[in-house]
Structure 1
Amino acid sequence: MNCLKLVKITASNVASFSKLPLRMPFHIQSRSDSSIEKVTHRKRSPCEVCIFPPDRKPCFDIRNVTIERGNNSHANQIRSFLYTEFWPREPSVVGLWMCLNCPYLEILTEKYANSGDRLLALERIKRTGEQKLVGVSVSNKVFPWAADELEEWAHHTASTPERNRMYFCAHCIRSPNLFQKYNVEFIYEVEVLATAAEVSGQGVGTTLLRTALAHAEELRYPLIQVVAVSQYTSRICEKCGMKREWSMDYSDFVDDAGQRVFFPRRPHHTVAIYTTHYNPDVGFREPCKPPFL
């Protein structure tokens, strides 16, 4: 008899519970009753806990980046970085619809990968201890006869994009007339200043350019030049305190028939030349002495 009463009480409790409104847990309730989002329970990763400003990427820290000088053993790394990060984004190449397998870019890539003053920005990955290449800077000396050589090579080049870029580089050397303005025998030009797309705008390019300027000042080079073909490079030069000497709109550069040559995408509408002048007679700055001396 007691067992029969227990069964009746349990059945009545179940029936009364079924009449109550069903409530969903707070973590799966939706604003509209018609749509219920699926929620997966997982542990939050360290990348979701952002300690940087919202406009910064939380997984990148500029303090993990070191600047090293490149040599012949880094040629393959620089070559791969130029083809994947620099040429596809440079306006003087993209604006001409120049393909990446053209002989002219291959010659320039071999030049930048094996010669000049090369600086590498390497990011240390804490999880694996490896170093990832996130930026490259290549600097070379430019002499007054470089513009004549470029125009002569362009005259004998069959490819139209290659010829137009050679004329463009010669125009950027001749128009500012910096050799006579500063009375120098050569100009130390930062020809390549490239960063990886995932770390752009986070200080890698500024660190590379400041290191190149410090290196030029240490060697007592009188004039350092950067041909800023993009607006991003112009901002980096202004952050480093360089002087704007000359600028030109891409629409003003035309061929012999008067047709526009460059069609770069926004916001790269102008090309500008930034310089920093050092007086070799003054000498370099004396390094700071340790506090215990």
Structure 2
Amino acid sequence: MIKALSSSILSRNLLSQFGVNTRQPVRCRRPSPCDVCAFPPEKRPCFDIRNVTIERGNRCHAKFIRSFLYNHFWPREPSVVGLWMDLNCPYIDVLTDKYSHSGDRFIAYEKIPRTGERKMIGVLIANKLFPWAADELEEWAHYTASRPERHRMYFCAHCIRSPNLFTKYNINFIYDVEVLVTASEVTAQGVGTLLLKTAIDNAYELRYPLVQVVAVSQYTARICEKCGMKREWEMSYTDFVDDFGQRVFFPRSPHHTVAIYVKYFDPKIGAIVPCKPQLM
């Protein structure tokens, strides 16, 4: 057997010297679409935006919104994470109760075709913002013992005062989108854009003059640009300092700036007249 193996190796070497191909044939097959991933690795392949519906929240959705905020919003919100704020602090609990029970709440549900159940994948919460809100926040911050909570209150008051939108547009209140969050598994798949467009349409129907979004993250800023909103003000997180001139925010990359986007509805233009049915 050893002699036969050595003779076969010798014969291959002799044939290769004369230019004869001695390689074993390889079985070839046609390329399949399964060889190339059609979906990016960060996106969920089975997600379909056509299965998403937007509903208005009511009293029954309070506990679901509260759970969703604690699982998806606060652990990723740059103005909270960048301050190293504890998620169990009373300030976060008060804000969660406010967002769960008041304001215009729009919830995005995904219907799973295989099981027929519906899953909450996004929440948008908007409230009316008045000019005296900045003074109220600064007064609360003055009596707050926790430094991260005090810094965030001063930060929110600064975002209200610096653009000076009440004087610029000559309005009495702003329709402020305070929460815009989607589940991590459906990020960058159009759910946030669908929620924001629903809120803008709702403000237009109610004849609200101005819609505002404080984009504390780059993802929110991208959603606002997709919805055709205008950037009115921008600030770097490094520019916000305390009384001693020390930097306050240390957010994660790529969230280095905060910007304010607005959508203005001119009251002189008026609403769109609906189409009348044709007379028979």
With structure 1 as the length reference, what TM-score do the two structures score? 0.81
CA separation of 1:290/1:66 partners in 2, compared to 1, >3 Å: closer, same or farther? Answer: farther
Gaps of 5+ in 1: 1-47
Contact 1:151 1:170 in 2 (8 A): yes
CA separation of 1:165/1:51 partners in 2, compared to 1, >3 Å: closer, same or farther? Answer: same
- Over residues 4-37 of structure 1, what are the superposed CA-to-partner deviations in whole Å (9 max), with x where a residue is unaligned? xxxxxxxxxxxxxxxxxxxxxxxxxxxxxxxxxx
Alpha-carbon distance in structure 1 between the residues aligned to 2:193 and 2:210: 19
Question: Counterpart in 1 of 2:27?
Answer: none
Question: Counterpart in 1 of 2:121?
Answer: 134
Superposition pairs for residues 166-245 of structure 1, below 5 Å? 166-245=153-232
Question: Counterpart in 2 of 1:45?
Answer: none
Superposition pairs for residues 57-76 of structure 1, below 5 Å? 57-76=44-63
Shift of 1:286: 3.5
Contact 1:50 1:58 in 2 (8 A): no
Shift of 1:176: 0.4
Superposition pairs for residues 1-293 of structure 1, below 5 Å? 53-54=39-40, 56-287=43-274
Alpha-carbon distance in structure 2 between the residues aligned to 1:292 and 1:122: 39
SS of the residue corresponding to residue 135 of structure 1 reads: strand
SS of the residue corresponding to residue 241 of structure 1 reads: coil
CA separation of 1:228/1:65 partners in 2, compared to 1, >3 Å: closer, same or farther? Answer: same
CA separation of 1:123/1:264 partners in 2, compared to 1, >3 Å: closer, same or farther? Answer: same
Shift of 1:290: 8.2
> What RMSD over aligned residues (CA atoms) do the two structures have, in Å?
2.2
Contact 1:253 1:262 in 2 (8 A): yes
Alpha-carbon distance in structure 2 between the residues aligned to 1:260 and 1:117: 34
Shift of 1:289: 7.0
SS of the residue corresponding to residue 221 of structure 1 reads: coil
Aligned residues: 248
Shift of 1:178: 0.3
CA separation of 1:176/1:239 partners in 2, compared to 1, >3 Å: closer, same or farther? Answer: same
- Over residues 238-289 of structure 1, what are the superposed CA-to-partner deviations in whole Å (9 max), with x where a residue is unaligned? 0000000000000000000000000001000000000010023432223467
Alpha-carbon distance in structure 1 between the residues aligned to 2:278 and 2:40: 38
Percent of aligned pairs sharing the same letter: 71
Alpha-carbon distance in structure 1 between the residues aligned to 2:279 and 2:218: 45
Which protein is bigger by CA-based radius of gyration? 1
Contact 1:104 1:162 in 2 (8 A): yes
Question: Counterpart in 2 of 1:5?
Answer: none
Shift of 1:175: 0.4
Alpha-carbon distance in structure 2 between the residues aligned to 1:289 and 1:194: 38
With structure 2 as the length reference, what TM-score do the two structures score? 0.84
